[in-house]
Amino acid sequence: MTNSQKVTFNHVCVRIKDPEKSLHFYRDILGMKVIHSFGSEKGKFSNYFLGFNIPDEILNGTEEEKLLYRNHTSGLLELTHNWGTEELPDFQYTGHKNEPGNGYAHICLVVDDINAYCEYLEGESVPFRKKLTEGVMRNIAFVLDPDGYSVELIERKK
- Residue 45 CB-density burial (10 A; 0-12 exposed, 13-18 middle, 19+ buried): middle
* Residues 36, 58: Cα–Cα separation, whole Å: 10
152 is annotated as an active-site residue: yes
Q: Which one is catalytic: 65, 78, 152, 155?
A: 152
* Residues 112, 133: Cα–Cα separation, whole Å: 18
The CA-atom distances, in angstroms, between 82 and each of 20, 49, 153 are 13, 15, 28
Contact assessment for residue 17 and residue 91, using Cβ atoms and an 8 Å cutoff: yes
Give catalytic residues, as residue numbers.
152
